[in-house]
Amino acid sequence: RIDEARIALEKRHFEEKQKMRKLLSDEASKELKQRAMKEFEIFERYQQKRQQKEKELNEADRLKREAHKLAIEECRRNQIQYLKQKEEVEKKMGMLYTEERNREHQLQLEFERQKEAAKRQRNAEVMKAQLQQCNENAQKRSLEKTGKLEEDQKAIEKLKGEDDLFNEF
């Protein structure tokens, strides 16, 4: 009976050890399973965060490229607008310059016309003065001739009178 009790005790002790091993094994298995699940969850969160971060970086890059593209387009539009304005200003300046040159040319022509008219006026006045002087000189000469003729006439009459006297003698 001791042997049987001993065998039963050993059997019970073995079964308790097996139970304990199974319990420890189940707990270790459960713990490993939980650890694996935690690691998987951590890995999954890491992957999601990494993908999210990559997505955000890609979105930020896309937005940056888009903003850069819009800035370039805006710059081009501004440059085109500036060139158009510059061209308009140059065209207006050219027109103003041309108008000013035409105005100056017209003033110069008017000045030349006035100068020419004044010259003609002076020439006409000089010519009038010369004609008047010529007429006056002609009158003087005429008067002088008339005076000389009268003197000559008187001298002829006097001489005739003397001739008549001489002939009477």
Per residue in 48-97, pLDDT (tens digit) is: 999 999 999 999 999 999 999 999 999 999 999 999 999 999 999 999 99
Report, as an integer, the average pLDDT of 119-137: 94
What pLDDT is recorded for position 3? 79
**What pTM does this model have?**
0.41
pLDDT reported for residue 89:
96
Cβ contacts of 73-82, under 8 Å, gap ≥ 24: none
- Token pair belonging to 42: 């951590």
Alpha helices in the chain (DSSP H): 2-168
More confident residue, 38 or 11: 38
